[in-house]
A and B are shown apart, each in its own frame.
Chain A
Amino acid sequence: MRKILGTALLAAAVAMPVADALAQAAPRNTLVVMREIDAESYDPHRSTARGAGEVVYMMSDTLVSLDWDMRTVRPGLAERWEVSPDGKTYTFHLRRDVTFCDGRPMTADDVVYSIQRWVDPATRSPVRWRAGPIKEIRARDAHTVEYELTEPFGELLYQLTLFFASVIDKNTVERLGQNFGVQGFNGTGPYCWASWTPRQELVLTRHPTYSWGPPIYQNPRPQVERVIWRVIPEANTRLAAIQTGQADVTQYIPEIAVNQLRAVPTVRMSQQPNYFWDHFMGFKVDKPVVNDPAVRRAINLAVNRNAIVQATWFGQAQPADAYLNPNVTGFDPEAGRMVPQYNPDEARRVLDAAGWTPGADGIRVKNGERASFLVYGLQTAVARRYLEAIQADLRRVGIDMRVQLWDATVGWGRLATQEFDAFVMSYPYISATDGFALYFDSRNRPTPNRMNWNDPETDALLQRAKTALSEADRLAAIQAAQRRIASNYVWLPIAREGLWVAAAQRVEGARAHGIYGVGLYKGLDIRLTR
């Protein structure tokens, strides 16, 4: 009944007039991409937003690229590279045919300038640590870059696929100053900056000489004249627009509509099975109540992830039965098995054994302290839904979870404080070491290590995982780190999001990628049939 109603209403939506911005069919030879929110800037060294990344990937290139399997590093601006035996020096050999959008040839100096700008403290990039412990980066000749580290960093190539490592034009940066990425952009990507109307649309035009796309694409050249990134905040409007052909592509599809859209003949859907964007709850391990490992274990046991994921993501996400996606590089299956699975009776037994006895109101008490804790999160519909479900599951075993959701404008600041006991978050990662080094390194307290996890053994394992020279050593270290964390129940893994890209009938070749949560990546292979 609900399906019939949903389909009928979805069909009605097609007939509904949508926003003025979409009043006409998408223009010929112009790809209209819809998204939910804009970014505050398109400077790859200053913004960490996915909204910035999805456009920056089209406007610029990185030294190396990431394959669809999310594991294999492929050539990018560098056609090949070597790593010194001590793992400290990477030598990148650049392509010789690369030009910026203004026609100027790209050289090793541009790569050196871009990486140095990224890691320069004056740039204040919040993710400059991703560039590794750089000792020096230098141009050996016009087409060779030497990237020297103070110690080995096995993650480097993965990190250099991220849009923060984009190569940009020094002249344009100096000309625009703080307005680089706001008033203009000059990169080597398949599409070039044309105009930006904040919170409405960003227009790109084809880079006419571009032919150096990553080898993961069938055609290394862009095949669309213009790309318009249009902001359509309302999900129902995006749904209507994609079905009526008023817009061409979007990855921002409400999960509840995915199955219906798959049944719509005018829409093509592409899914990325190797999508690493997870939701979790982290516990501040030094705060009352959640400092008790028994409570953290009981919480893991009490939460019915399957039911929550089904009700929240409507089958378009996977219950996170481990700290990481099993498809990610460095995943440890044994650590995965250490995460307690749903068993509310066992949760009650664990709490009983730990001395938490039910109080008059059903909430457990131990030494006069109620089993009550406060969770912070950012205000999203998804977070609200799964938190309410977790809240209800925990009440059933006698734990009171209080929820405080914040608007993103103030939420990040609040999440850097010590005023809460647990928090929920979602994040993208490209490897096990990437995710774990970010959250569990004691040097990253109080944020992003908001759990205040301060464990020398974990730190040592993470350091080994980052610096080991052999793949086997790296794997052994990061897998041991996963077991260390899982056995202490530092998180409640919740869900692994799915990635779908919906494309209108006239669009071919729109394949979901998912690097840093970005659906279209370089946007190559996309062509319009009319």
Chain B
Amino acid sequence: MSATAGEIAIPKRPGVLALILRDPAAAVAAAFALAIVLAAVFAPWLAPTDPFDNDLAKAMQPPGSEGLPLGADTQGRDMITRLLFGLRVTLLMGVAAVAAGGSVGALLGFAAAFYKKIDGFIMRLMDVLLSFPAILFGLAIAAIFGPGLFSVVLALSIATVPLMARIVRGAALVVMQQDYIEAARAQGMSDARLIRRHLAPNCLSPIFVFATLRFGQVILLGSALSFLGLGAQPPTAELGAMASEGRNFLFFAPHIAVIPSLVIFAVVLAFNVLGDALRDALDPRLRV
């Protein structure tokens, strides 16, 4: 494209995906994240065996045993199958917690930024929630509802609410000072419409970035809660619970704990790198 007199040549801005893929680390993380999501979604078709069908004669077979490339767990179940189904539960747990906690947090953040009268109340409430570690929420909720995925998701959701609320409130306060908000108000736009049309769309970038980063943290926390026995109940496969099951046999069958732990590590790392890349890509100051 050549510039003609009176025109300013504006280079075409690359898309977010293109910006992410420019960074090799982020590209690898994105590919890995996509692969694990696909593996989790298609687990029933990819898994070589039934995830619940045990064969105690094969219990704790090491990796490389016949028909068991990654070995077997304490029930003699194929580790690959359990990992695929475990990944499914772990990712679902992360998505559910980030979606539920993030949505409530975002609504509270918008409300706090928009309605000054309730700002103080909401943010003090968030401060109270922030003062409890997620593990403590998990323990308390498991004591009430019983250990299980519901308890873990609830605990992680509650732990996510104040973090999201703070981020959204901060972003919304910046947007609220923009002239177009004043203009919309001057036109008599209703509060709900103003939030929906102008405030929310302009806060989406920090929300997406935080959600991606939080996803990795939530998986780690959820795995920790499952490791403590508060999460998935038998026979559900879940990565943290699988690592927990194997820790008693670290000297005798290390693969049972080590393999799911490595998968948790890789998943969390991938989503953290992806979150960082997304933040860079969505930051207008870094967009060239």
Is A235 positioned at the interface, with any CB of B under 8 Å from its CB?
Answer: yes
- Which of the 9-residue segments A98-106, A269-277, A398-406 touches chain B? A398-406
- Determine the chain B residues whose CB is within 8 A of the CB of A6 once the complex forms: 251-252
Main SS class of interface, B: loop
Given the known inter-chain contacts A5-B62, A389-B75, A403-B233, please indicate yes or no for A13 contacting B251, CB distance below 8 A.
yes
Is B56 positioned at the interface, with any CB of A under 8 Å from its CB?
Answer: yes
- Determine the chain B residues whose CB is within 8 A of the CB of A12 once the complex forms: 251
Q: Is the CB of A389 within 8 A of B233?
A: no
> A349 to nearest B CB, angstroms?
22
A389 to B245, CA, bound (A): 14
A38 to B170, CA, bound (A): 48
Q: For chain B residues 56-108, which have a beta carbon within 8 Å of chain A?
A: 56-57, 59-62, 74-76
**Least CB separation from B58: chain A residue:** A311
Interface string of B109-142 (1 = CB under 8 A from A): 0000000000000000000000000000001001
- Determine the chain B residues whose CB is within 8 A of the CB of A504 once the complex forms: none
Q: Is the CB of A1 within 8 A of B147?
A: no
Q: For chain B residues 181-236, which have a beta carbon within 8 Å of chain A?
A: 229-230, 233-235
- Determine the chain A residues whose CB is within 8 A of the CB of B52 once the complex forms: 391-392, 395
Q: Is the CB of B254 within 8 A of A310?
A: no
> A343 to nearest B CB, angstroms?
17
Is B15 positioned at the interface, with any CB of A under 8 Å from its CB?
Answer: no
Given the known inter-chain contacts A379-B229, A405-B233, A406-B146, please indicate yes or no for A2 contacting B245, CB distance below 8 A.
no
Q: For chain B residues 27-57, which have a beta carbon within 8 Å of chain A?
A: 52-54, 56-57
A395 to B75, CA, bound (A): 14
Interface string of A255-269 (1 = CB under 8 A from B): 011000000000000
A402 to B75, CA, bound (A): 17
- Determine the chain B residues whose CB is within 8 A of the CB of A239 once the complex forms: 251
> B169 to nearest A CB, angstroms?
36
Is B253 positioned at the interface, with any CB of A under 8 Å from its CB?
Answer: yes
Q: Is the CB of B75 within 8 A of A379?
A: no
Is B18 positioned at the interface, with any CB of A under 8 Å from its CB?
Answer: no
- Determine the chain A residues whose CB is within 8 A of the CB of B147 once the complex forms: 379, 404-407
> A408 to nearest B CB, angstroms?
11
Given the known inter-chain contacts A256-B249, A311-B56, A384-B245, please indicate yes or no for A391 contacting B235, CB distance below 8 A.
yes
Q: Is the CB of B233 within 8 A of A407?
A: no
A310 to B54, CA, bound (A): 14
Residue in contact with B251 in the complex, picked from A10, A308, A391, A410, CB distance below 8 Å: A10
Residue in contact with B235 in the complex, picked from A5, A388, A404, A405, CB distance below 8 Å: A388
Interface centre among A256, A388, A406 (most CB of B within 10 A): A388
Interface string of A1-27 (1 = CB under 8 A from B): 110011001101100000000000000
Main SS class of interface, A: helix
Q: Is the CB of A384 within 8 A of B234?
A: yes
A52 to B174, CA, bound (A): 61
Q: Is the CB of A389 within 8 A of B146?
A: no
Given the known inter-chain contacts A311-B74, A388-B235, A406-B147, please indicate yes or no for A2 contacting B252, CB distance below 8 A.
yes
Residue in contact with A9 in the complex, picked from B233, B245, B254, CB distance below 8 Å: B254
Given the known inter-chain contacts A307-B56, A310-B56, A384-B245, please indicate yes or no for A392 contacting B235, CB distance below 8 A.
yes
Is A470 positioned at the interface, with any CB of B under 8 Å from its CB?
Answer: no
- Determine the chain A residues whose CB is within 8 A of the CB of B249 once the complex forms: 256
- Determine the chain A residues whose CB is within 8 A of the CB of B148 once the complex forms: 404
- Determine the chain A residues whose CB is within 8 A of the CB of B248 once the complex forms: 235, 254, 256, 381
Is A385 positioned at the interface, with any CB of B under 8 Å from its CB?
Answer: yes
**Least CB separation from A1: chain B residue:** B62
- Determine the chain A residues whose CB is within 8 A of the CB of B56 once the complex forms: 304, 307-308, 310-311, 389
Is A477 positioned at the interface, with any CB of B under 8 Å from its CB?
Answer: no
Q: Is the CB of B250 within 8 A of A236?
A: yes
> A469 to nearest B CB, angstroms?
48
**Least CB separation from B61: chain A residue:** A2
A387 to B235, CA, bound (A): 9
Is A218 positioned at the interface, with any CB of B under 8 Å from its CB?
Answer: no
- Determine the chain B residues whose CB is within 8 A of the CB of A310 once the complex forms: 56
Is A409 positioned at the interface, with any CB of B under 8 Å from its CB?
Answer: yes
A102 to B74, CA, bound (A): 52
A193 to B235, CA, bound (A): 46
Q: Is the CB of B62 within 8 A of A392?
A: no
Q: Is the CB of B142 within 8 A of A407?
A: yes
Is B262 positioned at the interface, with any CB of A under 8 Å from its CB?
Answer: no
**Least CB separation from A309: chain B residue:** B56
Q: Is the CB of A391 within 8 A of B234?
A: yes
Q: For chain A residues 414-438, which have a beta carbon within 8 Å of chain B?
A: 414
A415 to B252, CA, bound (A): 34
Residue in contact with B75 in the complex, picked from A235, A388, A405, A414, CB distance below 8 Å: A388
> A242 to nearest B CB, angstroms?
14
A304 to B75, CA, bound (A): 13
Is B25 positioned at the interface, with any CB of A under 8 Å from its CB?
Answer: no
A235 to B246, CA, bound (A): 13
A338 to B250, CA, bound (A): 40
**Least CB separation from B64: chain A residue:** A1
Given the known inter-chain contacts A2-B62, A388-B234, A407-B142, please indicate yes or no for A256 contacting B57, CB distance below 8 A.
no
Interface string of B154-180 (1 = CB under 8 A from A): 000000000000000000000000000
- Determine the chain A residues whose CB is within 8 A of the CB of B76 once the complex forms: 311
**Least CB separation from B60: chain A residue:** A2
A149 to B142, CA, bound (A): 46
Is B143 positioned at the interface, with any CB of A under 8 Å from its CB?
Answer: yes
A239 to B250, CA, bound (A): 12
Q: Is the CB of A392 within 8 A of B251?
A: no
**Least CB separation from B139: chain A residue:** A407
A307 to B252, CA, bound (A): 19
Q: Is the CB of A5 within 8 A of B233?
A: no
> B53 to nearest A CB, angstroms?
7
Q: Is the CB of A236 within 8 A of B229?
A: no
Given the known inter-chain contacts A235-B248, A381-B248, A395-B52, please indicate yes or no for A311 contacting B254, CB distance below 8 A.
no
**Least CB separation from B254: chain A residue:** A9
Residue in contact with B252 in the complex, picked from A5, A308, A387, CB distance below 8 Å: A5
- Determine the chain B residues whose CB is within 8 A of the CB of A5 once the complex forms: 62, 252
**Least CB separation from B244: chain A residue:** A381
Interface centre among B52, B53, B235 (most CB of A within 10 A): B235
Q: Is the CB of A9 within 8 A of B252?
A: yes
A310 to B253, CA, bound (A): 16
**Least CB separation from A419: chain B residue:** B146
- Determine the chain B residues whose CB is within 8 A of the CB of A406 once the complex forms: 146-147
> A97 to nearest B CB, angstroms?
47
**Least CB separation from A410: chain B residue:** B143
A384 to B56, CA, bound (A): 14
A391 to B60, CA, bound (A): 18
- What are 21 residue pairs bridging A and B, where the CB atoms are less than 8 Å apart in the complex? A5-B62, A5-B252, A9-B251, A9-B252, A9-B254, A12-B251, A13-B251, A256-B249, A304-B56, A307-B56, A308-B56, A311-B56, A384-B245, A388-B54, A389-B75, A391-B235, A392-B75, A403-B234, A404-B147, A406-B147, A409-B143
Task: Return the 10 tightest CB-CB contacts between A and B, nearest first.
Answer: A9-B251, A6-B252, A392-B54, A311-B56, A307-B56, A388-B234, A379-B229, A311-B59, A403-B234, A410-B143
